[in-house]
Amino acid sequence: MGTSIPQPIVAFLILSAIVTVLLVPSASGSSSSAHEKFIHCLSTHASPSHPISTAIFTPRNTSYSTVLQNYIRNLRFNTSTTPKPFLIVTALHESHVRAAILCGQKYDLQMKIRSGGHDYEGTSYVASVPFFVLDMFNLRECREEQNSWVPAGVCPTVGVGGHFGGAGYGNMMRKYGLTVDNIVDAKMVDVKGRILDRKSMGEDLFWAITGR
Ligand SMILES: Cc1cc2nc3c(=O)[nH]c(=O)nc-3n(C[C@H](O)[C@H](O)[C@H](O)COP(=O)(O)OP(=O)(O)OC[C@H]3O[C@@H](n4cnc5c(N)ncnc54)[C@H](O)[C@@H]3O)c2cc1C
Ligand SMILES: *[C@@H]1O[C@H](CO)[C@@H](O)[C@H](O)[C@H]1NC(C)=O
Ligand SMILES: *[C@@H]1O[C@H](CO)[C@@H](O)[C@H](O)[C@H]1NC(C)=O
């Protein structure tokens, strides 16, 4: 290493600038039918070529616990009393992110976005109110321009979301800076469900989402 100068990387990042406040029906009967409506909404918003059904996990799916636990990195939150999401969307396509944002708003549901699950407070997968998780572990493509080094954090399982949202302090930072210093483009889904890249979001927003 050492001699090649890293080229800027092209990163694939989906961020949502959404903060939802929630009001969830308290009776269990009405909340389960609300959940069914929410699932139906997700299906109708997913791209027809990328069905969302294989990306939806509720406590009734046998792999729900495994999917949830896989990215709980702070074991203080890996307990039976930790609040659990009523649903996890393991997005496989950008239209699934869009569906989660649009349907979460429509039904006033709290959404938590999880990338690598490394934040110490569990903010990406725990909430004090009923919530669902948009899990981004499948969307972690990171393309380099040319065969070069990408500065990153020390821990290999930190996700794309965390790295590009401001982390990425690592062994190469003295020479090359942080991961965020090397991002040349990003994709995000805004609150209206528009999928934007650097050009369409504009430099101000690009600056803001890359944590600089
Ligand atoms: C043991 C340990 C070692 C660490 N070492 C380093 C290190 O060497 N260098 C370093 O730089 N950092 C380090 N960190 C810090 C780590 O990089 C940050 O906590 C980072 O934010 C984690 O990213 P993540 O994708 O895994 O986190 P997550 O927990 O998935 O997400 C972090 C926050 O970003 C939000 N988020 C995640 N993805 C998205 C997205 N796609 N769109 C919008 N919001 C999103 C989440 O909701 C959450 O609030 C370390 C952390 C731990 C626990
Ligand atoms: C979880 O269960 C629901 C309802 O049975 C089903 O539609 C969905 O496809 C299942 N999810 C996965 C990932 O198999
Ligand atoms: C989290 O808890 C489950 C049991 O509830 C256990 O099977 C799993 O190994 C735990 N995860 C870790 C990383 O320890």
Residue-wise pLDDT for 13-48, tens only, equals: 344 333 332 333 334 456 778 899 999 999 999 999
Task: Tell me the chain's radius of gyration from C-alpha atoms.
Answer: 18
Give distance in angstroms: CA of 115 to centre of ligand 1.
7
Query: Who's near 138: CB < 8 A, 6+ residues apart?
Result: 55, 90, 91, 92
The pLDDT value given to residue 132: 98
Ramachandran angles phi, psi of 159, nearest 5°: -85, 170
Ligand 3 site-directed mutation target among 73, 78, 125, most atoms within 8 Å of CB = 78
For residue 41 the two structure tokens come to 């909404």
Low-confidence ranges of the chain (pLDDT < 50): 1-28
* Closest residue CA from atom 1 of ligand 3: 78
The C-alpha atoms of residue 42 and residue 8 are separated, in whole angstroms, by 35
- Ligand positioned closest to the Cα atom of 120: 1
**Cα 90 to Cα 52: distance, rounded to the nearest angstrom:** 9
How confident is the model at residue 180, as a pLDDT?
84
Check residue 63 and give its pLDDT: 97
pLDDT at 128: 95
Q: What is the pLDDT of residue 45?
A: 97
**pLDDT of 145:** 62
Q: How far apart are the first and last CA of the chain?
A: 27
